[in-house]
Amino acid sequence: MKPIYFDLDFGVTCIDTQHIRNDFVAAYLIEDNKRAAFVDTGCYLSVPMLLATLDEKNIKRENVDYIILTHIHLDHAGGAGELIKYLPNAKIIVHEYGANHLIDPSKLRSGVIKVYGELFFKQCLGDLIPVPKDKITIAKDFDNITLGERTLKFIDTPGHARHHICIWDEKSRGIFSGDTLGVSYRELDTTQGELIFPPTTPIQFDPDAWKNTLKQLMELQPKYAYLTHFNRIEFTQKSADMLIAHIDGFTNIAKQMQGHVNRHKAIKQTLLEYLLEIAKQHGVVLDETQQIKVFKGDLEICAQGLGVWLDKS
């Protein structure tokens, strides 16, 4: 399969993993002084795109030192066990709360199948391969690694998930943010800039922790966010404020629907109405049918996450 990727500056490439649709899930390739690292992998079915990108860019597989996982949700890390087979010198770096699920992914597998069904798992995710324990390195808060001549720092970033880290790249003043700095699809860009909203995925969504994480990250005064969903954007305090406002907006919807007879359906429908309204206020020019198509990939899982949060609260 022909890879789709975007060459950014500072030696960073955004790779479209082509999961579900184009422009939905990214992995990143960082190059420095003939050494390379992946940040996130997409799912098992995305691995051929990552390897093809290496081939097109004439990067030797033995020159990849790291596969860094922002967290272990399968659209970010599902391909790690398969990818590591082809990268003989690479280590997988992951939050300590995610490591055991990579070594034995049976709970991840069963959890996804329980929510989405066996057919979705096979058709959209493919498989889930265990990672050898000796290939895993734990990322602790404020740990650094060296890639070529650049330093990458790991930051523990709970909120979207407890097993989430972000990667601070001083060279580009960018944060490889997984889902912590929200999702923002290029189809929704307007003259007002990027529309950013939170992926409130089950099962560890924690709005208070998330807002504290954002405050911590903004102290770095980043210029860029390298989003998994999707591609790099400039990230300012205005961006952070937008994300915080929509975290609050999402949780308010959940609270309002708490006693509804069909709570999940009510949250999902009200969430869609909220997203369409903020898109309208943002000046999005796509018609409503197209907007719903863009939001569809996040809507179900965001509603599920809000329901889990209500039950825990």
Distance CA 51, CA 64 (A): 11
Helix (H, G, I), strand (E, B) or coil at 269: helix
- For the ranges 108-112, 139-143, 188-192, 257-261, which has the lowest average pLDDT? 108-112
124 has a pLDDT exceeding 90? no
194 has a pLDDT exceeding 80? yes
Angle at 21 (CA atoms; ends 300, 262), nearest 5 degrees: 10
pLDDT at 308: 95
**pTM as predicted:** 0.96
Q: Which of residues 2 and 87 earns the better pLDDT score?
A: 87
pLDDT at 17: 97
Q: Name the pLDDT band for 137 (thresholds 50, 70, 90).
A: very high
Structural contact between residues 41 and 78, judged by C-beta atoms closer than 8 angstroms: yes
Helix (H, G, I), strand (E, B) or coil at 209: helix
Mean pLDDT of 171-180: 98
The CATH 3.60.15.10 portion of the chain extends over 4-236
Long-range contacts of 45-48 (CB under 8 A, 24+ apart): 45/19, 45/79, 45/124, 45/125, 45/126, 46/17, 46/18, 46/19, 46/78, 46/79, 47/79, 47/82, 47/83, 47/86, 48/1
Q: Name the pLDDT band for 281 (thresholds 50, 70, 90).
A: very high
R_g of the chain computed on alpha carbons: 19
Distance CA 307, CA 313 (A): 10
pLDDT at 309: 97
Q: Name the pLDDT band for 64 (thresholds 50, 70, 90).
A: very high
Tokens coding 208: 């208070």
Mean pLDDT of 60-84: 97
pLDDT at 149: 95
Q: pLDDT per residue over 13-54, tens digit each? A: 999 999 999 999 999 999 999 999 999 999 999 999 999 999
CATH class given for the domain over 4-236: alpha beta
pLDDT at 94: 98
Structural contact between residues 71 and 60, judged by C-beta atoms closer than 8 angstroms: no
Structural contact between residues 254 and 307, judged by C-beta atoms closer than 8 angstroms: yes
Mean pLDDT of 151-158: 98
Mean pLDDT of 72-98: 97
Q: Return the DSSP state at 15.
A: E
pLDDT at 9: 97
Give the chain's end-to-end CA distance (angstroms, integer): 45
Distance CA 30, CA 60 (A): 13
Count the Cβ atoms, other than its own, within 10 Å of residue 123: 10
Please state, rounded to an integer, the average pLDDT across all residues of the chain: 96
pLDDT at 118: 87
Distance CA 147, CA 16 (A): 23
Q: pLDDT per residue over 218-232, tens digit each? A: 999 999 999 999 999
Tokens coding 196: 């950013």
266 has a pLDDT exceeding 80? yes
Q: pLDDT per residue over 88-122, tens digit each? A: 999 999 999 999 999 999 988 888 888 778 888 88
Count the Cβ atoms, other than its own, within 10 Å of residue 201: 20
Contacts of 282 (CB under 8 A, 6+ apart): 188, 190, 192, 195
